[in-house]
Amino acid sequence: MIRWKKGGGNHGEEKVSYFREFHYLDQFTIRLFNIEVKNKTGFELSHLTFYLSYPIITANGTEGNPFVIQGEPDNLVRPVSLEFGDTIQYSIFAPVNKVFSSSDLLDFNNPTVELYGYVKEGKQEIPFGIVGGLEKGAIIDGLE
């Protein structure tokens, strides 16, 4: 399991953490991500949506990809909400060749993730978004 944490932002969203399990079903055609999101903000989060995309390789590095794959939450309750301390797991099934055809132009080793939703503060719902890259790094035995 590979862990990634995104920092920055207001209303404590820097305390939302992501954990990634990555599996190749077929190394060249299908990738499956299981990503757990844990709310450490101190606030309730609501109407959560989670996306994954592969950056487009350019002559100068990479750029964002307008085509994203939406994560499917492990619960069937909509809209997705998380109380402080709760977790939810998103599954992302990415049939690489079927969806993207030419895989030479995409950076499959550094996917981009996006989490959008609302922070509930009293009776107010404040929109937030966190965007960042999943990085290979610290391997951990289990989840926090």
The Cα 95–Cα 104 span in angstroms is: 15
Range of the domain at 91: 2-133
Q: Which residue has the higher pLDDT, 5 or 44?
A: 44
**38 close to 144: Cβ distance less than 8 angstroms:** yes
- Give tens-digit pLDDT for 44-99: 999 999 998 888 999 999 998 888 888 889 877 788 999 988 988 888 877 666 66
Residue at 139 is within a domain: no
Q: Is residue 101 part of a domain?
A: yes
Q: Is residue 52 part of a domain?
A: yes
Per residue in 89-130, pLDDT (tens digit) is: 888 877 666 666 666 788 877 888 888 999 998 889 999 988
Query: Total structural domains in the chain?
Result: 1
Q: What's the CA gap between 8 and 10, in Å, rounded?
A: 7
Is residue 143 assigned to a domain?
no
Within a domain: residue 141?
no
Q: What CATH number is attached to the domain comprising 69?
A: 2.60.40
92 falls within a domain: yes
